[in-house]
Structure 1
Amino acid sequence: MEWKTIKVRFEGPVCYIKFNRPNAKNAINNLLIEECHRAIILCEKRSSVVIFEGSPEAFCFGADFNEFEFNCNNEKQIATRPDLLYDLWFKMASGPFISISHVRGAVNAGGIGFVAASDIVIADDTAVFSLSELLFGLFPAMVLPFLIRKIGYQKAHYLTLMTKPVNVKVAHDWGMVDEYHKNSDSLLKRQLARVIKLPKSGIEQYKNYMMELNDFVMKSKDQAVETNRTIFSDDHNLERIRLFVEEGIFPWEG
């Protein structure tokens, strides 16, 4: 199977999905979402552990603004399919495997969706986490159900409002990161030595039970997707994005 935006490899019961858009800081576009779905379908059948990775410089930097289209009639096209992206994160949270995000470098906006949807998050000491959307008049409607479930309402609220990055120590203190170490590859190996011993059937039953105990992300989908479509259809928000993409003007400079 050919992949254009990700790299996929299987090692026994473990599947590694690596974001592979280095020139775009591993930003999210429609093809990346589609390819991740295809990879997850394979994992549902054969893997008990799925690991998401980026590059040492950037894990994932959210939606790719460069793939927005602004035509001569001033009609704008949303860069990603919010329903498919939400479904991808939901599969990470509920699927019959242990999902792990291995974070190095910057993770922003939609990239935090992958982190928040993961069962386990490990990181190295270069990892920084941010939600920058509100600078453009947007907000992380899709990310927030997963993030609130992971770190609580007030910390997710604060991260959204402040828009500035927090380092890995703060993220760990908040519960966004489970463990971190300068050598995160070694840490990942130690984690895997344990979790690969767990039977896939047990993982599936356990995660189904956990989703029944806390169905917040399931119930939040329709509202999150519709809100995302609304904020990405707002002319003022999209004009801020256009000025940034086409002219390099940040919203606070206008």
Structure 2
Amino acid sequence: MDYATLTIDTAGTVATVTLNRPLVRNAFDEQSIAELTAAFTALGEVDSIRAIVLAANGAAFCAGADLHWMKKMAGYSEDENRADAMRLANMLRIIYSCPKPVVAKVHGDCYGGGVGLVAACDIAIVAEDVHFSLSEVKLGLLPAAISPYVIKAMGENAARRYFLTAERFGAKEALRIGFVHEVTTAAALDGQVEAVANALAANSPNAVREAKVLVRDVANQAVTDTLLADTAHRIAQIRASEEGREGVAAFLEKRKPSWLN
């Protein structure tokens, strides 16, 4: 598929999806939402891809909603707005549930829906000059479609503040509240993201996929007999899997597992 708002590059087992609308600070519109949905759906099904990096060209990671798109939405009916919002919500869910681990590589400003993009990724590594803002309430709107991912990423307490105030906050604050995993210099950003992506790609593809599901399913669950039975079932299944058996054998035999050959 040819993309007008994205570029996709592959180096070995790592794919990089790059937002490529620098003249509008990589703001969302209908086309970019559709293309992100298609790109992550397709990459999630490619066996040779073991990790995906989400990056951006230009001065900003993502400025949120495109102004022309917002003008169009102003004339939509409630039903049209609901359908439009569902397309954005579905795109974020596709990234969040992608079978491959996704690393956000963030520089510059990241506002509104761009914050949702980062939250939908599994790992977020940001340059120290990054600024975030959940700016929707300034416009009389809500960060509703992105809220499931943003609240999971930063927690309810931080979300109360930043959803309501629309304040800008920097990379250090994002790290403090747990919204991002690592802050680095702009010069070191490429290398650090590459190191994390390569670490992901070196692990058992099946185990990484199942570990991502495990975190999603177990987070915030009460420790009950049902949960214990479920986790025991998962470890039993993966121990008996082809990659599980191969990984243990390779460790005991002091050799590389087959997925690294």
1:79 to partner: Cα distance: 11
Kindly indicate whether the alpha-carbon contact (under 8 Å) linking 2:21 and 2:57 is maintained by their aligned counterparts in 1: no
Work out whether 1:187 is the aligned partner of 2:189.
no
Alignment TM-score, normalising by the size of structure 1: 0.78
1:165 to partner: Cα distance: 0.9
Q: Hey, what's the Cα distance between the residues in 1 that align with 2:87 and 2:212? A: 21
Q: Hey, what's the Cα distance between the residues in 1 that align with 2:6 and 2:159? A: 28
**In structure 1, what is the equivalent of residue 65 of structure 2?**
63
- How do residues 1-254 of structure 1 correspond to structure 2 at under 5 angstroms? 1-46=1-46, 47-69=49-71, 75-76=75-76, 78=81, 81-182=84-185, 183-214=188-219
Partner amino acid, structure 1, of 2:198: A
Secondary structure, aligned partner of 1:4: coil
Cα deviations by residue, 1:86-131 (Å, 9 ceiling, x for unpaired): 1222222222111111000000000001111110000111211101
Q: Greater Rg, structure 1 or structure 2?
A: 2
Q: Hey, what's the Cα distance between the residues in 1 that align with 2:15 and 2:220? A: 26
**In structure 1, what is the equivalent of residue 256 of structure 2?**
none
Partner amino acid, structure 1, of 2:213: N
Q: Hey, what's the Cα distance between the residues in 2 that align with 1:54 and 1:168? A: 17
Structure with bigger RCO (C-alpha 8 Å, 6+ apart): 1
Relative to structure 1, the CA distance from residue 136 to residue 17 in structure 2 (aligned partners, 3 Å threshold; closer, same or farther) is same
Q: Hey, what's the Cα distance between the residues in 1 that align with 2:57 and 2:131? A: 13
Relative to structure 1, the CA distance from residue 69 to residue 136 in structure 2 (aligned partners, 3 Å threshold; closer, same or farther) is closer
Kindly indicate whether the alpha-carbon contact (under 8 Å) linking 1:55 and 1:104 is maintained by their aligned counterparts in 2: no
Partner amino acid, structure 2, of 1:41: T
Partner amino acid, structure 1, of 2:107: R
Secondary structure, aligned partner of 1:59: coil
1:53 to partner: Cα distance: 0.7
1:199 to partner: Cα distance: 2.1
Percent identity over paired residues? 25
Gaps of 5+ in 2: 222-261
Superposition RMSD in Å: 2.2
Partner amino acid, structure 2, of 1:199: S
Aligned length: 214
Q: Hey, what's the Cα distance between the residues in 2 that align with 1:169 and 1:80? A: 36
Alignment TM-score, normalising by the size of structure 2: 0.76
